[in-house]
Amino acid sequence: MTLLRTLRAALVEIADPSRAPAMQAYMKSEMPFHGVGAKPFRATCKRAFAKVALPDAETWRREVLALWRGARFREERYAAVELCADRRARSFQNMSTLPVYEEMIVTGAWWDVVDPLATHRLGDILRGEPKPMKKAMRAWSRDPNMWKRRSAILCQNRFKGDTDLALLYDCIAPSIASREFFLRKAIGWALRQYARTDPKEVARYVREHEAELSPLSKREALKNVG
């Protein structure tokens, strides 16, 4: 039995279908939900993943994409994102995996799957292979696809004092005047996160770009600035 079929059967067993419509409505998802809460979902994934051998990066990528592409319910897509974070895959977080995340980000096209990939997995690659990844993120920041732009803006959200400000500002610049909510929100979120480390720098940046930044971006950016 494939991982997807095993996982789907396990999710059906613990699902509460009465919760599914509200979950689907909240996420504005065309894909239905099983109706599984976060804690039982993660526990189910952990048990299912433990039965799957991941001897190399190719096998792991194949399993991730099989889950992602075969998903019929949203939790099954969440499971693909969860498998990306499997501890056995730590050494697989490199530029060779970026096309997998790109596919998931472009076809997922919503914050619930894009943001964990952007803030965790893209960040992992950036830490491990900074030179090629910075080049890739700068390219993504100018891409016509909004979710790739959002991902580039958010990829350093966990970096704190290790944040490359030149990269952050370069990734914000192509979207700074955008009217798209998810880009405005991403800009504000990324700046807010860095303000935990250097509030004066974020305040300076917001002042300098007062005319370009949206009210939403400015409001979010300055939440942690006294």
Segment 19-74, tens digit of pLDDT: 999 999 999 999 999 999 999 999 999 999 999 999 999 999 999 999 999 999 99
DSSP codes joined into one string, 30-75: SS------HHHHHHHHHHHHHTS---SHHHHHHHHHHHHHH-SSHH
pLDDT on residue 147: 98
Q: Which fold, 1-92?
A: Leucine-rich Repeat Variant (1.25.10)
Q: What is the mean pLDDT of residues 214-222?
A: 97
Q: Is the pLDDT of residue 1 over 90?
A: no
Q: Considering just the CA atoms, what is the radius of gyration of the chain in Å?
A: 19
pLDDT of residue 117: 98
CB contact at 8 A, 136 and 96: no
- Domain segments of the chain as ranges: 1-92
pLDDT computed for residue 224 by the predictor: 82
Angle between helices 57-70 and 3-14 (to 10 degrees): 50
The pair of structure tokens assigned to 82 is 């969860």
Q: Residue range 76-81: average pLDDT?
A: 98
B/e letters for 61-78, b = 16+ CB within 10 Å, e = fewer, are: bebbbebbeebebbbbbb
Distance from C-alpha of 72 to C-alpha of 8, rounded to nearest angstrom:
9
Quote the mean pLDDT of the chain: 97
7 pLDDT higher than 80: yes
pLDDT in the model for residue 177: 95
Q: How far apart are CA 170 and CA 4, in angstroms?
A: 39
pLDDT digits (tens, 9 = 90+) for 122-168: 999 999 999 999 999 999 999 999 999 999 999 999 999 999 999 99
Q: Inform me whether the pLDDT recorded for 226 exceeds 90.
A: no
Place of tokens 């976060």: 38
- Contact predicate 52/63, CB 8 Å: yes
